[in-house]
A and B are shown apart, each in its own frame.
Chain A
Amino acid sequence: MPYAFLALGGVLLLAGSYIGLFVAPEERYMGDVYRIMYVHVPTAWNALLAFTTAFVCALAFLWKHDFRWDARHEAAVEGGVVLSGLLCIQGAIWAKPTWGVYWDWDPRLTTTAVMFFAFIGILALRRFVDDPVKRASWSAVSTIIAYVDVPIVYFSVRWWNSLHQMQSSPETVSAPFIIPLRTNAFGVLFLLIGLITLRARLALLRLENELAPPLPASRTALSAEGSR
């Protein structure tokens, strides 16, 4: 099933990118540069969605104490970090021709950078804690704290003066621009679902291995002799 999501996501991304690059018309003021929006905006939506998934999984783990939620939590954080890192790179590439700089300490950019590094910190925390129970609990609590920044990222362009434009809606975007935007948004979404599912299975396999009792030394020695 996850491979079907990966394939579907890949096909949608290829189709959406083709439409965005070669079929959709130029934007009146930004010309061709705005075509970056067809990958930047879907990446942003799905990065926030991944962190929201991580937040829900963290809450579910703390409530149920079921390690399957911890595996999903780890997978969603990793997916969100990859997408938010990519988001910052795409944003910098778009900012240079439109704003004249790759980076500005604007509220949207700053809060996004804080979100990216906060969740990288959670992945680092998971690497440094050996006890699976402490690792799952501490990282779940950390995710809940870090998630406070996610709505701030979303509303930052409304709350403060920002170089970054406000969110668009279907009413403010012309129809020819909506098709590649939605196609890529679903493409990244299906890719994310497939990747989180596979990554959660991987996390669970590793956890089972960690929690499994070690083989007795004599049995290991016998196995080694037998295999010679």
Chain B
Amino acid sequence: MSEMGSGVLSGGWEYVTAAYVISGVILAGYAVSVVWRYRAELARRRREADRQRT
């Protein structure tokens, strides 16, 4: 826990860790979601095109 009083903060690594972990999870999660949705849509279109050909 960070300490206040002298006007100088000490510690606080738990906040730093939380900020970096949450940022990584949200950015990576969104990137995976966009790539996954895009590939799923491409696959759906391919299946649709195959069905129309047969």
Contacts and interface: CB of A to CB of B under 8 A. Distances in A.
A125 interface: no
Interface string B1-45: 010100111111101101110110011001100110110011001
Given A86-B22, A198-B34, A13 B9 contact: no
The SS class assigned to the A binding surface is: helix
Interface residues of A, number: 42
A209 B45 contact: yes
Contacts of B41: 202, 205-206
A133 interface: no
B3 to A, nearest CB: 9
Interface stretch (A31-39, A62-70, A156-164): A31-39
A30 B7 CA distance: 9
A28 B54 CA distance: 71
A32 B22 contact: no
A102 B20 CA distance: 17
A43 B23 contact: yes
A33 B20 contact: no
Contacts of A33: 2, 9, 12, 15-16
A202 B52 contact: no
Nearest to B26: A86
